[in-house]
């Protein structure tokens, strides 16, 4: 069943969101808004040391203080807390260290929980934390990845600082580099980022004695449920997980956290509801961080710019432990460095390294922005080397639209795309030639404010993911999604999805899909999600997968409901099912006026007065969908920056994005996703960095130090789309959650470097702070003077 | 414990409060007004923005005792008779929210900036919102919504 | 996070407030609370008592006093930036006040609170220093006037004594022929200044007859760029201005932090001083 965007169809319409009303009027259900009778409040005491042996924890001072119900140390949980899971053992040699939710004998990063207080309110809990005594015997911090891998480095874990190593080859890499006229050899740093979803994490756990309910600000209620069962030994059927309204995630809430496990255990210990709500400074320390790679990338090319081969060697900072998908993040980039380009050979190596820092894990794009950044930066370097326009060097190498489907050097098959179309549209909107002319003029004049133009022609691997491919990659779970659809007696429709939206608008978009598939009004559809007792089966929301997989599961469930309705209609209308055509929400007997609407059939199923033999009294069904391939959105982003060479300040002057996310269900939502993604990618390019000092203390614990761009720091973005439908799903959709973030970081940094080319500068480390830009310029000028 | 009197969304409350109680916690934990969330501890994010005697403030950086005798308007008190304020409506129309966590503060800040400039430029809007962080929208649609809200509100005043 | 416990008093008068402060050295003045509350919430400060002077009528308002503008300590940044009296009498103060933090914080944060906090990264100290403002402090012993040059002692330390409360600041009016500019350099709109430069420049017959330059975040206190001020005297607008501004970072000791190292701050001070002086002098 393919749905076309056409008049009268819901799919393709810019529907305003159904989700908005409660969010706009202050009736949201954030986890921290929830309350249970007798609810207690938890606060955690966290390690001030990056690495230390715990020699004593004395919580007795906290017990007995006003309002304090209990105080616990790691020892109190040792027998029951298990180890936080890592679901992605990427290699044979991987070391997965024990990861106790509360540290018992050793702490390995600043912020690791060492004790906690349960009190009648959070003010009392905060006071009591100060009465807990902990003695530490300091151990050496391990902060630098390269040093960590040397033989004499102190160890984070007994087994050493190497978590894993992977090598992948395709084609003859030696031949590609042998006698290559051009070799570009660069090292880039993907700085460590803090996701900073606006809603801090929060957990509420309650028990009725037999069963447990955990409300959590999570992206993954279903995965969390099974993992909580595995970690704590509480049987899965006795755990219900609810993700109420969740205020953004960007991967940071794709995690099974220490606090979730510990709150559940405390609810069990105390037989009372306990709630923990994170503060921002606590969150900056202990929400898993993102990125943090050193990327060594080498590209061999012919003199005309044709790429011969690409060699990538990564060091990926795991932090102190491997969390849910920590080691898988750099591996998600493994097949993406070759991007949209054709080449003869590719080699990828990655070493995961332990350090005494907060573990890293998924952050918007997860592995793919890192890969895209490196290749798009290097393509610009190749263009500069050849004195060629960066778009021209890309044109010479990219897969042409008539070559799809195309199997890349890294083995992925890109099903559809049109890089030429997106680029042509983007350059026209951007006024590319005019800006190049202005750039030349400013260069000629020696204007202290130089203009830079940045290009990023990206693709990404979305729709995580085909279960078979995940299995081949050694991921512990599948990539299917589940959807269920039920016609209520009155003809309204209840949809249950296994995805877990936290800002993406699934309720609206799924309603559009269902409205078309069942021929019911958009307004008649409601979508339930995020509660394992309601949506019993799901794989949740991350990796731009929800529409591509979850949306299709809902569509498949609709097909089944329609098949049931057809049988029922045939019975009621006394004809053969083959004589019926489905149109505008009704089954019509071909060539006659006689028909039954879906609403009438829903009522007929409810009353069940006249059902055919063997037909159950229900018009509902469910389905799972597991695609055969990833989807591959792509696009061309162009960024113009003005760089004040006297101060180093970078100002984005204009930004154009033309994305191809396949068919679009709701253009309003798609546009919003791209806007937000671009802003986050700009954040990495210009503003954001998690900084640890030489002792392993995080210096960027507050939003005064970890800088997020505000409205005043960003320009408006000009957006458009091209449309090459995906072939891996019946809607032709590709996913859009991560596109903007993946594309924008290299576009901005390429623009900054482009502005500074006349100074002989060929890189600025991210974030491109004014100080870094100024230093590069002044060093270049001194070089000239010398 | 000091006793304070504070009017919140039109209702007068008398509360005994610890001096250290933050206004936002008075709203959320004592008065059940959870519409105003807390997003940081350094008054950077603006999620907790409310009107105090008609001007925007960050309720995480005001003590409840400082609000004694004052009038507080939160996102929950904006609409009249169950209908949305034009600015709330404009945020809906322009898809100016995704996760919605920054939205209460953003809407309050938006209404506040129109006090001084009922017909703001893009630049004025962007600077007027500089104390409110959003991680989802990239601000484009928020700026559009504020412009639309301004027009609607101007309309509302002009049409008797 | 959650502040630790403290007592709270809301005195009826300035003298009552100073009595409380004099009797308890761990007591702190609460003005708008926009600097203090984040410190309390992060438990970086543990005052015994907060003395809330926010409502004292004696500290409120902005007053035109002929040869100077008196800005009450509890005038908010928002009031100051919008005050006709300030805009007319000392426009540089209004300019800088508009750069403080963001609109909501400017509604609560006060002129006096911000200055008494004595954060050299704050926007106002350098401005008041450049304008030779006079701080008026009140205590049980009476009133004391402190010239701006003597008010700022060190990072977050002013010369206010125990029991002394800042009542307001006198900003002398500069009269005809002056131009002003505040250049704030920061990475995001709501971030603190990496460096700020406040410039007041008087011109007569095309030449600069007097220049006053205050520097934000170039040392433990706000500083004057005296060497540049002297060098600018008598100068016409032109390329030589830049030369004079090369001295702007002389005798500074800027901090090193996440956003900048000292050498970069010195460089910025020179560039921004040049820009501020040019704008203040009305250069095209």
Q: Which residue of B has its CA nearest to A703?
A: B44
Is C269 domain-assigned?
A: yes
CB-nearest partner of B130 from A121, A676, A712? A712
Whether B41 and chain C come into contact, CB under 8 Å, resolves to yes
Q: What is the reported pLDDT for A425?
A: 98
Q: What does the radius of gyration of chain A's CA atoms come to, in whole angstroms?
A: 28
How far apart are alpha carbons A659 and A457 in whole angstroms? 10
A659 touches chain B (CB under 8 A): no
- Would you mind telling me the total number of residues written for chain C in this entry? 284
Same domain, C23 and C67: no
Query: What pLDDT, on the 0 to 100 scale, is given for residue A7?
Result: 61
pLDDT at C283: 87
Cβ of residue C4 closer than 8 Å to a chain A Cβ: yes
Distance between CA atoms of residues A375 and A409, nearest Å: 14
**Strand, coil or helix: A484:** strand
- Give the 3-state DSSP-derived string for A436-477, with helices as H, strands as E and coil as C: HHHHHHHHHHCCCEEEEEEEEEEECCECCCCHHHHHHCCCCC
Count other Cβ atoms within 10 Å, centred on residue A563: 12
Task: Based on the fold, state whether residues C240 and C156 are members of the same structural domain.
Answer: no
Q: Which stretches of A584-742 are assigned E, i.e. beta strand?
A: 586-589, 595-597, 620-625, 634-644, 650-660, 718-721
Checking if the pLDDT of A784 tops 90, the result is no
8 A C-beta contact, residue A194 and residue A284 = yes
- Establish if B59 touches chain C: CB-CB under 8 angstroms: no
DSSP one-letter code for B134 = -
Q: A364-461+630-777: which CATH topology?
A: Aldehyde Oxidoreductase; domain 4 (3.30.365)
Which residue ranges of chain B lie beneath pLDDT 70? Answer: 156-160
- Residue A29, min C-alpha distance to chain C (Å): 21
Same domain, yes or no, for C27 and C62? no
pLDDT tens-digit series, residues C104-151: 999 999 999 999 999 999 999 999 999 999 999 999 899 999 999 999
**pLDDT at position A406, please?**
98
From the list C4, C185, C189, which residue is nearest A647 (CB)?
A: C185
Q: How close A189 gets to chain C, by Cα (Å)?
A: 18
pLDDT cut 90: percent of chain C above it: 95
- What subunits make at least 3 CB pairs under 8 angstroms with B? A, C
pLDDT digit string, tens, across residues C180-206:
999 999 999 999 999 999 999 999 998
Token output for C2: 């959650």
What is the rounded distance in angstroms from the CA atom of residue B105 to the CA atom of residue C122? 25
CB contact under 8 A, A770 and C185: yes
Q: Do A771 and C261 touch (CB under 8 A)?
A: yes
Chains that touch C (3 or more CB pairs under 8 A): A, B
C71 and C44 assigned to the same domain: no
What tokens appear for A463 in the block?
């729709």
Which residues of chain B does C53 touch, with a Cβ-Cβ cutoff of 8 Å?
A: none
pLDDT at A266 (0 to 100): 98
Q: For residue C33, list chain B residues with Cβ-Cβ distance below 8 A.
A: 61-63, 66
Q: How many domains does chain C have?
A: 3
Length of chain A in terms of residues written: 786
Max distance between CA atoms of chain A, in angstroms, equals 96
Instruction: For residues A501-525, give the mean pLDDT.
Output: 97
CATH number at residue C14: 3.30.43.10
Could you tell me the residue range of the domain that residue C228 belongs to?
179-280
Mutate to test the interface with A, among C242, C264, C265, C276 (most CBs of A within 10 A): C264
> Residue A45's closest CA among A117, A119, A141?
A117
Shortest CA gap C225–chain B (Å): 30
Kindly give, in sequence order, each residue whose CB lies less than 8 Å from that of residue A713, ignoring residues fewer than 6 positions away: A687, B130, C188, C189
H-only helix segments in A273-316: 280-286
CB contact under 8 A, B133 and A198: yes
| Common-topology check for domains A20-27+480-625 and A34-139+198-248+253-286 | no
Q: Which of B41, B66, B130 sits opposite C102 (nearest CB)?
A: B130
User: Which structure tokens are listed for A135?
Assistant: 């003695």
The CATH fold of domain B3-77 = Ubiquitin-like (UB roll) (3.10.20)
Task: Name the fold adopted by A20-27+480-625.
Answer: Aldehyde Oxidoreductase; domain 4 (3.30.365)
CATH code for the domain of C90? 3.30.465.10
CA nearest to C55 within chain B: B66
Show Cβ contacts of residue C43 under 8 Å, excluding neighbours closer than 6 positions. A126, C1, C2, C3, C4
Q: What tokens were used for A356?
A: 């005494």
Residues C273 and C192 in one domain: yes
**Are C115 and C91 within one domain?**
yes
Which of C34, C47, C76, C104 is the best mutation test for B, with the most CBs of B within 10 A? C104
Label residue A4 by pLDDT band (50, 70, 90): very low
Q: In chain A, what residues touch B88 (CB-CB under 8 Å)?
A: 24-25
CB proximity list for B26: less than 8 A, separation 6 or greater = B6, B15, B17, B64, B67
Q: What is the mean pLDDT of residues A240-269?
A: 98
Flag whether pLDDT at C31 surpasses 70.
yes
- C48 with C27: CB under 8 angstroms? yes
Q: Is the pLDDT of residue A273 over 70?
A: yes
CB of B123 within 8 Å of a chain C CB? The answer is no
Q: Are B8 and B31 in contact (CB under 8 A)?
A: yes
Tokens representing B109 are 């800040």
Asked if C47 and C64 sit in the same domain, the reply is no
Q: Does ipTM surpass 0.90 in this model?
A: yes
Chain C residues in contact with A687 by the CB 8 A cut-off are: 187-188
Residue closest to A255 by CA, chosen among A197, A212, A198: A197
* C66, C106: one domain: yes
Which residue has tokens 């010369």? Answer: C159
- Tokens representing A193 are 């980022």
Query: What is the Cα–Cα distance from C255 to C250, expressed in whole angstroms?
Result: 14
pLDDT (mean) for A617-635: 96
Say if the Cβ atoms of B129 and A712 lie within 8 Å. yes
Write the DSSP assignment of C47-112 as a string of letters: -SEEEE-TT-GGG--EEEETTEEEEETT-BHHHHHH-HHHHHH-HHHHHHHTTSS-HHHHHH-BHH
Q: Which of B29, B107, B139 lies closest to A679 in CB terms?
A: B139
Domain holding C227: CATH number? 3.30.390.50
Q: Where are the domains of chain A?
A: 20-27+480-625, 34-139+198-248+253-286, 364-461+630-777
**β-pair partners for C183:** C197
In a domain, C253, yes or no: yes
Last residue of a domain, one of C119, C137, C171: C171
In chain B, what residues touch C10 (CB-CB under 8 Å)?
65, 68
Tens-place pLDDT, residues A77-96: 999 999 999 999 999 999 99
Q: Which of A67, A770, A773 to mutate to test the interface with C (most CBs of C within 10 A)?
A: A770
Please, are residues A370 and A360 in contact by the beta-carbon 8 Å criterion?
no
pLDDT the model gives residue A3 = 41
Within 13 Å and on the Cβ side, how many CA atoms surround A379? 34
pLDDT reading at A716 higher than 50: yes
On chain B, the residues whose CB falls within 8 A of the CB of A27 are: 35, 76
User: Given an 8 Å threshold on Cβ–Cβ distance, is C185 in contact with A707?
Assistant: no
The residues of chain B that CATH labels 1.10.150.120 are 86-158
pLDDT in tens, A285-342: 999 999 999 999 999 999 999 999 999 999 999 999 999 999 999 999 999 999 999 9
A24 with B39: Cβ contact below 8 A = no
In a domain? residue C245: yes
CA B8 – CA B88 distance, rounded (Å) = 19
pLDDT given at position A2: 39
- C203 and C132 in a common domain: no
Residues 6+ away with beta carbon under 8 Å from B90: B96, B145, B146, B148, B149, B152
Q: Name which of B57, B60, B66 is nearest C107 (Cβ-Cβ).
A: B57
On whether both C42 and C89 belong to a single domain, the answer is: no
Q: How many cross-chain Cβ pairs, A to B, lie less than 8 Å apart?
A: 180
Q: Of C83, C92, C90, which is closest to residue C69 (Cα–Cα)?
A: C90
Chain A partners of C38 at a C-beta cutoff of 8 Å? 704
So what's the architecture of B86-158 in CATH? Answer: Orthogonal Bundle (1.10)
How big is the B-C interface in CB pairs under 8 Å? Answer: 88
Q: Pick the residue of A16, A19, A20, A508 with the most B CBs within 10 A to test the interface with B by mutation.
A: A20
Residues of C in contact with B43 (CB under 8 A): 34, 37-38, 104-105
Q: How confident is the model at residue C17 (pLDDT cuts 50, 70, 90)?
A: very high
Domain A34-139+198-248+253-286 CATH superfamily? Aldehyde oxidase/xanthine dehydrogenase, a/b hammerhead (3.90.1170.50)
């Amino acid at each position: 069943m393919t749905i076309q965007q056409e008049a009268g169809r819901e799919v393709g319409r810019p529907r305003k969101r159904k989700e908005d009303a409660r969010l706009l009027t202050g009736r949201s259900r954030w986890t921290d808004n929830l309350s249970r009778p007798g609810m207690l409040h938890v606060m955690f005491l966290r390690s001030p040391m990056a690495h230390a042996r715990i020699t004593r924890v004395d919580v007795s001072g906290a017990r007995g203080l006003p309002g304090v119900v209990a105080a616990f140390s790691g020892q109190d949980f040792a027998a029951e807390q298990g180890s936080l899971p890592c679901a992605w053992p990427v290699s044979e040699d991987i070391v997965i260290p024990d990861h106790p939710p509360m540290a018992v004998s050793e702490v390995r990063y600043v912020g690791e929980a060492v004790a906690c207080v349960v009190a009648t309110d959070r003010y009392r809990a905060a006071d009591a934390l100060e009465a807990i005594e902990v003695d530490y015997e300091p151990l050496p911090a391990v902060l630098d990845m390269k040093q960590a891998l040397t033989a004499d480095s102190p160890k984070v874990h007994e087994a050493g600082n190497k978590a894993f190593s992977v090598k992948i080859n395709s084609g003859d890499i030696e031949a590609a580099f042998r006698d290559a006229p051009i070799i570009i050899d660069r090292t880039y740093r993907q700085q460590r980022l803090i996701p900073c979803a606006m809603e801090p994490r929060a957990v509420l756990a309650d028990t009725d004695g037999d069963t447990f309910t955990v409300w959590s600000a999570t992206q993954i209620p279903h995965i969390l449920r099974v993992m909580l069962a595995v970690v704590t030994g509480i049987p899965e059927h006795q755990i219900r997980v609810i993700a109420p309204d969740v205020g953004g995630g960007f991967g940071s809430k794709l995690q099974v956290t220490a606090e979730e496990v510990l709150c559940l255990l405390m609810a069990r210990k105390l037989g009372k509801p306990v709630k923990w709500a994170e503060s921002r400074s606590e969150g900056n320390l202990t929400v898993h961080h993102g990125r943090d790679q050193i990327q060594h990338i080498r590209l061999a090319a012919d003199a005309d710019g044709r790429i011969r081969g690409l060699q990538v060697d990564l060091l990926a900072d795991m932090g102190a432990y491997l969390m849910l998908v920590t080691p898988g993040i750099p591996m998600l980039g493994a097949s993406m460095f070759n991007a949209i380009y054709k080449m003869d050979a590719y080699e990828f190596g990655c070493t995961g390294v332990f350090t005494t820092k907060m573990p890293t894990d998924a952050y918007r794009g997860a592995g793919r922005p890192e890969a895209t950044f490196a290749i798009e930066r290097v393509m610009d370097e190749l263009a500069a080397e050849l004195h060629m326009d960066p778009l021209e060097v890309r044109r010479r190498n990219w897969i042409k639209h008539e070559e799809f489907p195309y199997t890349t050097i890294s083995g992925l098959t890109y099903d559809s795309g049109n890089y030429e179309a997106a680029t042509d549209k983007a350059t026209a909107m951007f006024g590319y030639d005019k800006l190049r002319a202005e750039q030349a003029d400013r260069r000629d004049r020696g204007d202290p404010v130089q203009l830079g133009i940045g290009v990023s022609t990206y693709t990404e691997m979305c729709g995580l993911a085909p279960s078979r491919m995940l299995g081949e990659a050694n991921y512990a779970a599948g990539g299917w999604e589940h959807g269920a659809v039920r016609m209520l007696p009155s003809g309204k429709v209840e949809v249950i999805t296994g995805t877990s939206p936290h800002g993406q608008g699934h309720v609206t978009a799924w309603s559009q899909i269902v409205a078309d598939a069942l021929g019911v009004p958009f307004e008649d559809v409601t979508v339930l999600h995020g509660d394992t007792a309601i949506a019993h089966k799901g794989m949740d929301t991350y990796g731009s997968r929800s529409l591509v997989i979850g949306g299709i599961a809902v569509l498949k469930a609709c097909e089944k409901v329609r098949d049931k309705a057809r049988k029922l209609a045939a019975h009621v209308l006394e004809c053969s099912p083959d004589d019926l055509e489905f149109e505008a929400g009704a089954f019509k007997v071909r060539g006659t006026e006689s028909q039954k609407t879906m609403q009438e059939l829903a009522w007929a199923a409810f009353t069940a007065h006249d059902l055919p033999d063997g037909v159950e009294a229900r018009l509902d069904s469910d389905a799972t969908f597991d695609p055969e391939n990833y989807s591959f959105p792509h696009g061309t982003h162009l960024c113009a920056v003005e760089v004040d060479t006297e101060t180093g300040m970078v100002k984005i002057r204009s930004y154009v994005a033309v994305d191809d996310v396949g068919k679009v269900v709701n253009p309003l939502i798609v546009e919003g996703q791209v806007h937000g993604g671009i802003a986050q990618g700009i954040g990495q390019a210009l503003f954001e960095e998690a900084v640890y000092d030489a002792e392993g203390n995080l210096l960027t614990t507050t939003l005064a130090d970890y800088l997020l761009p505000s409205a005043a720091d960003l320009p408006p973005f000009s957006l458009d789309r091209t449309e090459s439908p995906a072939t891996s799903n019946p809607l032709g959709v590709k996913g859009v959650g991560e596109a903007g973030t993946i594309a924008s970081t290299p576009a901005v940094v390429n623009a900054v470097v482009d502005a500074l080319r006349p100074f002989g500068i060929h890189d600025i480390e991210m974030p491109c702070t004014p100080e870094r830009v100024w230093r590069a310029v002044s060093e270049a000028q001194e070089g000239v003077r010398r | 414990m000091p006793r304070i009197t504070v009017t919140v969304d039109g209702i007068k409350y008398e509360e005994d409060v610890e001096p250290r109680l933050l206004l936002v916690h008075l709203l959320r934990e004592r008065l059940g007004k959870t519409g105003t969330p807390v997003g940081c501890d350094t008054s950077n994010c603006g999620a907790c923005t409310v009107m105090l005697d008609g001007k925007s403030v960050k309720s995480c950086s005001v003590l409840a005792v400082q609000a004694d005798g004052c009038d507080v308007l939160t996102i929950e008190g904006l609409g009249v008779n169950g209908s949305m304020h034009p600015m709330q409506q404009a945020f809906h129309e322009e898809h100016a929210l995704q996760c919605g966590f920054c939205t209460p503060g953003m809407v309050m800040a938006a209404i506040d900036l129109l006090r001084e400039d009922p017909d703001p430029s893009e630049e004025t809007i962007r600077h007027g919102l500089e104390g409110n962080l959003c991680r989802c929208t990239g601000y484009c649609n928020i700026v559009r919504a504020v412009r639309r809200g301004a027009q609607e509100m101007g309309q509302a005043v002009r049409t008797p | 996070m959650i502040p630790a416990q403290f007592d709270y008093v809301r005195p009826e008068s300035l003298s009552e407030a100073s009595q409380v402060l004099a009797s308890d050295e761990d007591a702190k003045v609460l003005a708008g609370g926009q600097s203090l509350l984040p410190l309390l919430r992060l438990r970086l400060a543990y005052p015994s008592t907060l003395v809330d002077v926010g409502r004292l009528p004696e500290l409120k308002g902005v007053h035109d006093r002929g040869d100077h503008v008196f800005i009450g300590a509890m005038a908010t940044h928002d009031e100051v930036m919008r005050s006709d009296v300030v805009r007319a009498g000392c426009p540089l103060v209004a300019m800088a006040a508009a750069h403080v933090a963001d609109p909501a914080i400017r509604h609560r944060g006060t002129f006096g609170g911000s200055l008494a906090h004595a954060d050299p990264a704050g926007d106002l100290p350098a401005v008041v220093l450049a304008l030779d403002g006079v701080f008026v402090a009140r205590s049980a012993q009476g009133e004391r006037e402190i010239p701006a040059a003597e008010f700022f002692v060190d990072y977050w330390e002013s010369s206010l004594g125990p029991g002394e409360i800042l009542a307001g600041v006198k900003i002398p009016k500069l009269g005809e022929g002056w131009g002003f500019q505040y250049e704030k350099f920061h990475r995001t709109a709501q971030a603190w200044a990496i460096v700020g430069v406040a410039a007041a420049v008087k011109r007569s017959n095309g030449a600069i007859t007097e220049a006053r330059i205050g520097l934000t975040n170039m040392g433990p206190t706000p500083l004057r760029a005296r060497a540049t001020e002297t060098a600018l005297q008598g100068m016409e607008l032109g390329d030589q201005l830049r030369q004079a501004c090369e001295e702007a970072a002389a005798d500074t000791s800027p901090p090193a932090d996440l956003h900048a190292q000292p050498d970069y701050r010195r460089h910025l001070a020179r560039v921004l001083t040049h820009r501020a002086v040019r704008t203040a002098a009305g250069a095209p």
